[in-house]
Amino acid sequence: MSKILAVNAGSSTLKWKLFSMPEETVIASGMVDRLNLPGSVFKVKLANGQKYEETQDNITNKLAAAMVLTRLKSYGILKHLSEITGVGHRIVAGGEVFKDSAVITPIVLKQIKELKDYAPLHNPVQAYYIEVFEQLLPEAHEVAVFDTSLYAQMPEVNYLYGIPYEYYEKFGARKYGAHGTSHRYVAHRTAELLGKPLEDLKLITLHLGSGSSVTAFKDGHALDTSMGFTPLAGVMMGTRSGDIDPSLVAYLAEKLDVTMPKMIDILNHKSGLLGVSELSPDQRDLEKTQDERPKSKLALDMFVNRVVRYVGSYTAELGGLDALVFTAGSGENGIAMRQAIADKLGYLGVTIDPEKNDFRGEERVVSPDSAPVKVMVVPTNEELMIVRDVVRLSR
């Protein structure tokens, strides 16, 4: 039995889970929110359900990592830090360099830093945490798990843009996708639940939440995905616009008299459900107000429309569809949203049984037994995929 830590670092948060392997049980989990800000919050949940929370101003990235380990000892979860034999780090951008997870070496760490242009808010801080945990846990085996690795080997026809080919060769201008660790877990888990090899399934996974993406699987690999060079592309999301005509972006930048970086910030943080509804990026808020606020309903309808477009186009690419799988916040908990999407896809053989669909956050088949396409809900578990990769690459 070994203990492996999964680290998911963002620009202002540090999320983590400690697993006992090979049982794959969660010993403890938690997060540090509002890093480097007044009112930083440190939260821990133990396997027995006990919870701890403390607030402290300006918890730094390094202090956050140290607090995770010291609190695990003070709560009696660890006697010695050496009990943690592996650390898996979620890394957003691996470019074309990393087509799989990788054992962290000085060269790998250097490459992660050099890929910062592909994820400027994430790769630098994630590389920093690698260095911090190397100092705090010098005997632990450290592994980098890349969100983009699932898509590194997509067909050229799907990852290239219709721009001069030399831009790809010189600057790496291509579709990289995102949410790959989530889609990878859900696809493999779906195959297990259906009792079939992933290689035999034509599958579409819907990661629907504040950030949303759609991925198509064929022959056991990702065939196509909705997010692009950055996570801004694809379906409309909580605050992201999704696909948009680049000429419109230039037009609006001129009309608003803002720089292109400012325009990209608007498309990332002030658009999507929030921008259209003029109320909230949260689907739950919009569902509560859609009867009184036409813009709330419009935003929800547009979200459904964009997801349906991708499912339809990917089914055409796949040449059929065996299963459609919902995951992430809205996918796992959005009863009405799942139904609304399925209602638009009946022509593909997609249908949902309302009684089976009346639940949140569990693994279930929600389509009728006789339906030609299985419609399923599979809660994502990125951290489990991370620690599995640590075990796989530690042998």
Q: Could you give the domains of the chain?
A: 2-146 (3.30.420.40), 196-382 (3.30.420.40)
For residue 186, give the nearest of 166, 165, 208 by alpha carbon. 208
User: Is 90 a known ligand-binding residue?
Assistant: yes
User: Is 210 a known ligand-binding residue?
Assistant: yes
pLDDT at position 49, please?
87
Q: Active site residue: 33, 100, 147, 389, which one?
A: 147
pLDDT at position 56, please?
84
pLDDT at position 299, please?
97
Q: Are strands 40-46 and 51-56 parallel, antiparallel or unpaired?
A: antiparallel
User: Is 382 a known ligand-binding residue?
Assistant: yes
- CA angle 282/264/231 to nearest 5° reads 60
pLDDT at position 39, please?
85
Name 283's Cβ contacts closer than 8 Å, sequence gap at least 6. Answer: 273, 300, 303, 330, 334, 337
pLDDT at position 176, please?
94
User: Is 265 a known ligand-binding residue?
Assistant: no
User: Is 36 a known ligand-binding residue?
Assistant: no
Q: Are strands 25-33 and 374-377 parallel, antiparallel or unpaired?
A: unpaired
pLDDT at position 395, please?
73
Q: Name the amino acid, one letter, at 131.
A: E
The gap between the terminal CA atoms of the chain, to the nearest Å, is 14
- CA angle 317/323/327 to nearest 5° reads 105
For residue 102, give the nearest of 113, 114, 90 by alpha carbon. 90
User: Is 240 a known ligand-binding residue?
Assistant: no
Place of tokens 């660790």: 181
User: Is 282 a known ligand-binding residue?
Assistant: yes
Mean pLDDT by 10 residues, the chain (395 residues): 89 88 93 84 89 86 90 89 94 91 96 89 90 94 94 94 97 93 95 96 95 96 95 93 96 96 93 94 92 96 97 97 95 94 96 94 94 96 94 88
User: Is 40 a known ligand-binding residue?
Assistant: no
Q: Known catalytic residue: 147?
A: yes
Separation of alpha carbons 295 and 170, rounded Å: 43
What ranges make up the beta strands (E) of 102-257? 102-103, 141-146, 203-207, 213-218, 221-225
User: Is 195 a known ligand-binding residue?
Assistant: no
pLDDT at position 354, please?
94
